[in-house]
């Protein structure tokens, strides 16, 4: 007897509001609370800092609009993996999907969860293991020594957060989407409210924000490289806008809601990021901002005194928790789509009969993210994740030209604004950004390439596997 309630397909349970909140909530994580200080130190100019945040946001918006055209054409779960398969075939799409699972998204989850745990540690004293355990080392070729048990309490909390949110999204996409919407509203309101308090009650000065474009000599002598590095920081804060495309198959009226979700979500984040950076600068001159790694806490102390750090810690906890949830919800759909295309283990393509979610994909993703948490390489992981991400963002933007030629008659409910100029701008910018990363941050760029390249043997294995007719 067939169970009428058994689910064999993913559920279309996400509306426009949930789509917008998934985009914005996935983007607003730890970056906006950590990267402004680093960028201020690199640029030394408040005007340049604001310009980079705006420019990085607009470049991100172009990337989102390019993807919006493809999202309107193909509404299948898997997002950019599906687009790459249509553009370039199995090889590029597989390497992308493998990179998403091996480092790009799972690495982001590990880093975000670690920041979440760090701020939990502000309120709760976390466990530390004995020195003997902390000295335990694992050597990984090309990476170096890994100390998995250093800061074990922080790592344990990060792992618990990943497990908890994996369970939330295991139970159902509607439940996970609701959690995402609530958390995103909370953190946007919190950031806007803090910005308002800093500007109104911070006793600062707008002369900190506009200095007549007085750029330090140290910045001018290496301007191109420093601007490129500051863009890397901004792009980390803006990253994850494409998470919505991964769940296209679970969005109601996807031809309309996915393009709108991408556009509105990115615009909201640009506004929030520029506002909070102006508020930072209003109370902290750019030099002082550069010397404040936890710049949000330093700015809040101007108004709230010592309790300012507590307030900001709560905001960061909510922010990172929401970003982690959005990433977990979306990323599991990529190996799910790969399995459906017979290019990955069959189990990843299974749908939970009761919850209608890619449960096996979620569980394996969660396990690997926890492993990356134990690696402890969180400072560098942001840089090589961004390098790997932008390598595929470049290919994705160029792909709009490929599809216009390859599939000229395919219905396009949305066409990218400013074609062909906007995609060209994005491709050219992405190319120079990657070149600058290789020159200015060679070690992390190479690490990104190495992690992407680990997908090559897996791809050829699956091609051989299919040729032997083992996969049905």
Antiparallel, parallel or unpaired: β 138-140 and 144-146 = antiparallel
Does 1 have pLDDT greater than 50?
no
By the 8 A CB rule, do 81 and 93 touch?
A: yes
For residue range 326-382, list pLDDT tens digits in order.
Answer: 889 888 888 888 888 888 888 888 888 888 888 899 999 999 999 888 876 555 566
User: 300 is written with which tokens?
Assistant: 């809040």
Q: Is the peptide bond before 215 cis (omega within 30 degrees of 0)?
A: no
Across 46-82, b (16+ Cβ under 10 Å) vs e yields bbbbbebbeebbebbbbbbbbbbbbbbbbbbbbbbbb
pLDDT the model gives residue 413: 85
Poorest-confidence range of 160-169, 406-415, 462-471? 462-471
HEC string of the chain equals CCCCCCCCCCCCCECHHHHHHHHHHHHCCCHHHHHHHHHHHHHCCHHHHHHHHHHHHHHHHHHHHHHHHHHHHCCCCCCHHHHHHHHHCHHHHHHHHHHHHHHHHHHHHHHHHHHHHHHHCCCCCCCCCCHHHHCCCEEECCCEEECCCCCHHHHHHHHHHHHHHHHHHHHCHHHHHHHHHHHHHHHHHHHHHHHHHHHHHCCCCHHHCCCCCCCCHHHHCCHHHHHHHHHHHHHHHHCCCCHHHHCHHHECCHHHHHHHHHHHHHHHHHHHHHHHHHHHHHHCCHHHHHCCCCHHHHHHHHHHCCHHHHHHHHHHHHHHHHHHHHHHHHHCHHHHHHHHCCCCCHHHHCCCCCCCCCHHHHHHHHHHHHHHHHHCCHHHHHHHHHHHHHHHHHHHHHHHHHHHHHCCCCCCCCCCCCCCHHHHHHHHHHHHHHHHHHHHCHHHHHHHHHHHHCHHHHHHHHHHHHHCCCCC
Mean pLDDT of 86-115: 89
**Closest Cα to residue 375, out of 110, 86, 188?**
110
For residue 464, what pLDDT is reported?
76
CB atoms within 10 A of CB 365: 28
Q: Choose among 59, 53, 107, 378: nearest CA to 234.
A: 53
325, 28 Cβ separation under 8 angstroms? no
Q: Which two tokens stand for residue 198?
A: 């800093």
Return the structure tokens found at 407. 């599939």
Q: How many domains does the chain have?
A: 1
Closest CA to 276 of 198, 182, 181: 198
pLDDT tens readout for residues 248-279? 777 888 888 888 999 999 999 999 999 999 99
Q: Quick check: pTM over 0.85?
A: no
Q: How far apart are CA 278 and CA 199, in angstroms?
A: 8
- Provide the pLDDT for residue 210: 85
Give the domain extent around 266. 16-467
Residue 283 has pLDDT above 70, yes or no: yes
Assigned domain for 2 exists: no
**Is residue 94 in some structural domain?**
yes
Is 125 among the domain residues?
yes
Q: Calculate mean pLDDT across residues 289-304.
A: 82
Decide: 381 and 38 in contact? Cβ < 8 Å: no
Residues 368, 374, 380, 385: what is their CA dihedral angle, to the nearest 10 degrees? 10
Q: To the nearest whole number, what is the mean pLDDT of the chain? A: 84
Model confidence band, residue 306 (pLDDT cutoffs 50, 70, 90): confident
Q: Does residue 147 lie within any of the structural domains? A: yes
Rounded distance, CA 94 to CA 114, Å? 28
- CATH number at 328 reads 1.20.1740.10
pLDDT band for position 2 (cuts 50, 70, 90) = very low
Q: What is the mean pLDDT of residues 437-443?
A: 78
The percent of residues in the chain predicted with pLDDT above 90, rounded, is 25
Q: Is the per-residue pLDDT at 144 higher than 50?
A: yes
For residue 472, pLDDT beyond 50: no
Distances (CA, A) of 31 to 78, 111, 236, 281: 25, 10, 6, 17
Cβ atoms 324, 29 nearer than 8 A: yes
- Contact between residue 104 and residue 452 where contact means Cβ atoms under 8 Å apart: no
Q: Is residue 4 part of a domain?
A: no
CB-based burial, 207-221: b 16+ in 10 Å, e otherwise: ebbeeeeeeeeebee
Q: Is residue 448 part of a domain?
A: yes
- Any idea which of 79-83, 171-175, 328-332 has the lowest mean pLDDT? 171-175
- Record the tokens describing residue 1, joined without a space: 């007897």
How confident is the model at residue 51, as a pLDDT? Answer: 94
User: Is 5 within the bounds of a domain?
Assistant: no
**Nearest alpha carbon to residue 101 among 78, 122, 69, 117:** 78
With a cut of 80, say whether residue 173 has pLDDT above it: no
pLDDT given at position 470: 52
Neighbours of 406 (CB within 10 A): 12
The predicted structure's pLDDT at residue 81: 87
- Which residue did the predictor score with more confidence, 8 or 154? 154
Question: Would 237 be classed as within a structural domain?
Answer: yes
6 pLDDT band (50/70/90 cuts)? low
* pLDDT for 76: 76
- Residue 175's pLDDT band, with cuts at 50, 70 and 90, is confident
Is the CB of residue 153 less than 8 Å from the CB of residue 126? yes
Could you tell me the pLDDT band of residue 147, with boundaries at 50, 70 and 90? low
């Amino acid at each position: 007897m067939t169970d009428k309630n058994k689910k064999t397909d993913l559920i279309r349970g996400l509306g426009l509001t949930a789509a917008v909140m998934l985009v914005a909530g996935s983007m607003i994580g730890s970056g906006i609370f950590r990267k402004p200080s680093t960028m201020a130190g690199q640029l030394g100019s408040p005007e340049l800092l604001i310009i980079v945040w705006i420019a990085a946001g607009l470049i991100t918006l172009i990337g989102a609009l390019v993807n919006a055209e493809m999202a309107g054409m193909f509404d299948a779960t898997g997002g950019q993996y599906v687009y790459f398969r249509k553009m370039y075939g199995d090889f590029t799409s597989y390497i992308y999907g493998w990179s998403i699972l091996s480092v790009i998204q799972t690495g982001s989850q590990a880093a975000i969860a670690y920041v979440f745990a760090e701020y939990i540690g502000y309120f709760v004293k976390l466990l530390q293991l004995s020195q003997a355990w902390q000295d335990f080392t694992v050597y990984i070729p090309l990476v170096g020594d890994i100390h998995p048990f250093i800061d074990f309490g922080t790592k344990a909390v990060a792992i618990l957060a990943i497990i908890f949110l994996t369970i939330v999204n295991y139970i159902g996409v509607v439940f996970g989407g609701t959690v995402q919407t609530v958390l995103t509203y909370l953190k946007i309101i919190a950031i806007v409210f803090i910005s308002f308090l800093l500007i109104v009650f911070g006793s600062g000065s707008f002369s900190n924000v506009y200095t007549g474009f007085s750029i330090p000599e140290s910045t001018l002598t290496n301007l191109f490289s420093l601007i490129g590095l500051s863009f890397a920081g901004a792009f980390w804060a803006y990253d994850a806008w494409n998470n919505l495309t991964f769940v296209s198959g679970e969005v109601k009226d996807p031809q309309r809601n996915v393009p709108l979700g991408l556009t509105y979500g990115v615009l909201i984040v640009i506004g929030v990021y520029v506002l909070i950076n102006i508020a930072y600068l209003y109370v902290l001159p750019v030099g002082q901002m550069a010397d404040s790694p936890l710049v949000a806490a330093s700015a809040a102390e101007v108004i709230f005194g010592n309790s300012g750090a507590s307030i900001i810690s709560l905001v960061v906890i909510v922010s990172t928790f929401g970003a982690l949830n959005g990433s977990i919800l979306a990323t599991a759909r990529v190996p799910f789509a790969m399995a459906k295309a017979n290019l990955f283990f069959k189990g990843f393509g299974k749908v939970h009969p009761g919850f209608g979610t890619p449960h096996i994909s979620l569980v394996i993703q969660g396990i690997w993210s926890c492993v990356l948490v134990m690696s402890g390489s969180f400072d560098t992981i942001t840089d090589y994740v961004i390098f790997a991400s932008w390598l595929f963002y470049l290919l994705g933007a160029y792909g709009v030209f490929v599809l216009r030629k390859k599939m000229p008659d395919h219905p396009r409910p949305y066409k990218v604004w400013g074609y062909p100029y906007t995609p060209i701008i994005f491709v050219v910018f992405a190319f120079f950004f990657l070149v600058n990363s290789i020159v200015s941050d060679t070690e992390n760029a190479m690490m990104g390439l190495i992690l992407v390249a680990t997908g090559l043997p897996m791809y050829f294995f699956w091609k051989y596997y299919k040729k032997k007719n083992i996969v049905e």
